[in-house]
Copies of this chain bind each other. A is one copy, B any other.
Amino acid sequence: MHLHLTSVKYIGVAGLYDYGPPGSSLQANIIAEWRKHFIIEEHMLELDTTIMTPAPVFETSGHVARFADWMVKDTKTGDVLRADHLVKNVLEARLAGDKEARGMAAAPLTEDKKKKKKAAKSAAVKLADEVVTEYEAILAQLDNYSGPELGELCRKHNLRNPDTDNEVGEPQLFNLMFASSIGPTGQHPGYLRPETAQGHFLNFSRLLEFNNGRVPFASAQIGRSFRNEISPRAGLLRVREFTMAEIEHYVDPEDKSHERFSEVRDVKLTLLDRHVQEAGKSTTVEMTVGEAVDKGIIANETLGYFVARIYQFLLKIGINPQRLRFRQHMANEMAHYATDCWDAEIHNSTGWTECVGCADRAAYDLTVHTNKTGHPLVVRQALKEPIVTQKEIPEWNKKALGKTYKQDAGIIQKIVESMDQQELVKLKGELAQGKTVITSSDGAKQWELTPEVLTVELKTLKQSIREYTPNVIEPSFGLGRILYTLLEHSFWSREQDVERGVLSLPPVVAPTKVLIVPLSAREEFDPLVKEVSSKLRKAGVFSRVDDSNTSIGKRYARNDELGTPFGVTLDFASVQNRTMTLRERDTMDQRIGSIDDVIAVVTDLVFGNITWEEACERLPAYDGVQAIE
């Protein structure tokens, strides 16, 4: 694998991973493809905002109060566990034990023992049928429980810390943001952002201006975020520092159609909707995005459009569609303001894992920041047809008002101007009779008003601008999780030798596209290696040379594990005849041709212009023997 725990030689701090050279290239390639698929193709506005964020921003967004997980403490050791994970681990272990006791082949709980060493041990104990049903129902809606409900589950089902078999205490909230302090005086608390989204919202006005005041549009940001997870485990699936890619698509709340929806209408998805889950089941259905939106399963076109685009992106980088589903959030799981939310879940050795979220967050985010700062985050839209309304409007004789009422003039004006239409009509009637009396809000003072100071008139108003707070559709990608599941989906072993691993990454994301393998590091191959290397660079194809001191077969095997899709070999025939062989990673098939032909073919392969079958039509098979005179 290309990833490893950071600082592991120093201290047992989990959840922080470094990416080595192939891992960081793979990540860079996934990001480049993401940028192309979303930012470039959809003309999104890219942002780069700060990670360190003054505390008031997250107070307003609600993160200080609510961005927290429920944790429980082992009553004896003080070990801290995430409450929902405890429930999941113990119940799954009991169900596995039950299956074993019933003589059914219990699917092994984990495929990789190292990754799940903390999973509860299962013992072959048969459970009553109704208990099995109850456990399964709990697991199906695990994300739906509140903290006190999780505590109740622990008591009712006697769920204990599987490591110690001790009881656990009541669930408590633990805020997941890393806190720090900005500046030398310690006056300004700050947090590391747990998502990039707030950075988008704070810049909304400038983005809107940059987009010439028009909606819909989207901002996009790729960057690091931080969550102080209670129990980071399972490789890259739950870490404390991770790279995200987030889109905030701003849309008119009265029109959530999408201009390009017709392009994705027929994309077929595997859906797990909220009703199925709330009924304690996990049955998925296959459906086109068009059908899901038409039937109201997915709330609107724009949300459906992004769900489909997420699906296309994941397939493009190599995720197995058979192990990908979209799960809708249940009522309690979703924030109260959200309209709808779908997670792209990818199956891996630990089960189904949320890798992308796609939510319609309504007007929540822009509204809370507007309220806090007094700076309105709104769209002002010129109306094609102005809206005409009639309204009673108070008109003052300012001179008479000041002269008659002196220092009270301001209060009197305020009282009248805060009246609604009905009150104004009443006032108008009284004034038409000659005078009226108004009273201060505390009832302590009264003033008599006459038509000399005040008249009320019915006026026709034309509203040519509509002002509204846009709604936000937010696709949010956890790139580390995607990368990790992609590695799992891509890895397999050769039939003839299980020790020989292959990583079938698509060329678009593979760290190295072409491996150049000279027969040996002997100087006579140097000019050819340089030529091929430079020609590939000019064609925009990233290659590496492996001239290490082992057999060609071993060098290929090593690079199969790194996911390099193509290899070219330079040998004595190359020096004499200027030929080169081309090898495909998955089939190990080899072809031969002139150096320039092979470079042209491999370039087309890397950029996805041709398939391997088409390449085979252009280059004859290599039989392992080259003529050398």
Contacts and interface: CB of A to CB of B under 8 A. Distances in A.
Interface of A: 4, 6-7, 9-11, 13, 15-21, 23-25, 27-28, 40, 43, 45-54, 56-57, 60, 71, 78, 80, 174, 178-185, 188, 190, 192, 199, 202-203, 206-207, 210, 212, 219, 223-224, 226, 228, 230, 240-241, 372-373, 375, 537, 542, 544, 548
A228 B184 contact: yes
B24 A48 contact: yes
A53 B202 contact: no
A192 B180 contact: yes
A203 B174 CA distance: 32
Given A21-B46, A51-B241, 12 more contacts: A16-B54, A18-B48, A18-B199, A19-B48, A20-B203, A20-B210, A21-B210, A51-B224, A52-B178, A178-B181, A180-B192, A182-B240
A223 B19 CA distance: 12
A97 to B, nearest CB: 30
Contacts of A48: 18-19, 23-24, 27
B9 A21 contact: no
A246 to B, nearest CB: 14
Contact of A13 (B23, B45, B183, B192): B183
A72 B15 CA distance: 39
Nearest to A548: B212
B203 A50 contact: no
Given A184-B228, A190-B13, A542-B40, A50 B6 contact: yes
A133 B382 CA distance: 66
A195 to B, nearest CB: 15
Given A13-B182, A54-B13, A228-B184, A47 B71 contact: no
B18 A46 contact: no
A206 B20 contact: yes
B202 A11 contact: no
B21 A202 contact: no
Contacts of A199: 6, 18
A17 to B, nearest CB: 7
